[in-house]
Amino acid sequence: MSVETKQQEAGQDQWLNELAKPEVQEALAVMIQKLPELKDTVLKIEQVVGKVSNVATDMGTIDSLVQPVDKVSKVLLNPETLDAIVMMVDKLPKIAKTLEMLDKISPFVEAFTDKDNLKGIAGLVEVFASPVTERVQDGISMVKEAKERADQNTTTISLFGMMKILKDPAVQNGFKFLQAFLDVSAEKKALNRG
């Protein structure tokens, strides 16, 4: 026997020993079962490779892919654009904090702008403002009524009539307030001069 034959027999014995192992036999059985799936996968890969090679050889397709990339690269390589990108990246922590804050505030804003809540707030404002509004309206109506009565009254007021009016408690309170106001005003003027 020649050396070549002995080497072939040794190789065959080694193969037979490997094939005799149960784990190898189990693996071969699984591979045989998976052969149809492997065939389908290989066919799909061949189709994809064919399409890619067609696209790669079609100059029109290559140009249509290269042109947008070329435009974008010109814009990105512009020094002003690079400076702007660096500035934006530098500001990202502040932007992130601002977005977090807005995220926390947004439920409050949404709740505040809800129609039902706005109606409730309007009702609350009305509750607080209505007493003031009523007093102002009462005051306005009193002034109007007094003006009408004064316009209708054609009698002249005598000196004794004035004395009687001056004794009225409301007039007395008004004069007391007027006197106190004039005193405070004089004191403020004296402080500002000195």
User: What value, to the nearest 5°, has the Cα angle with vertex 115 and ends 113 and 118?
Assistant: 65
- Residue 160 placed within a domain: no
Average pLDDT rounded to a whole number, residues 32-57: 80
Asked if 18 contacts 24 with a C-beta cutoff of 8 angstroms, the reply is yes
pLDDT in tens, 94-108: 878 887 887 788 777
Report how many domains make up the chain: 3
* Helices 3-19 and 22-57: angle between axes, nearest 10 degrees: 100
Q: Is 47 helix (H, G, I), strand (E, B) or coil?
A: helix
Note the pTM of the prediction, 2 decimals: 0.30
- Residue 129: pLDDT above 70? yes
What whole-number distance in Å separates Cα of residue 42 and Cα of residue 30?
18
Q: Looking at residue 193, what is its pLDDT?
A: 84
3 and 59 within one domain: yes
146 and 125 within one domain: yes
Average pLDDT rounded to a whole number, residues 19-45: 83
103 and 129 within one domain: no
- Residue 126 placed within a domain: yes
151 and 100 within one domain: no
59 and 39 within one domain: yes
> What average pLDDT does the chain have?
80
Q: CA torsion 102→103→104→108, rounded to 10°? A: 80
**Where is pLDDT greater, at 46 or 109?**
46
What whole-number distance in Å separates Cα of residue 104 and Cα of residue 155?
72
131 and 147 within one domain: yes
Per-residue tokens: 151? 């316009």
Question: Helices (H), strands (E): how many in the chain?
Answer: 7, 0
Residue found by looking up tokens 């002034």 in the block = 143
- Residue 137 placed within a domain: yes
Task: Please classify residue 84 by burial: count the beta carbons closer than 10 Å to its beta carbon, then call 0-12 exposed, 13-18 middle and 19+ buried.
Answer: exposed
CA distances from residue 62 to 6, 53, 75 in whole angstroms, order as listed: 57, 11, 20
Per-residue tokens: 88? 């934006």
Residue-range definition of the domain harbouring residue 35: 1-64
- Residue 4: pLDDT above 70? yes
Q: Is 160 helix (H, G, I), strand (E, B) or coil?
A: helix
pLDDT in tens, 131-189: 878 888 888 888 898 888 888 988 888 888 888 888 999 889 988 998 999 999 999 98
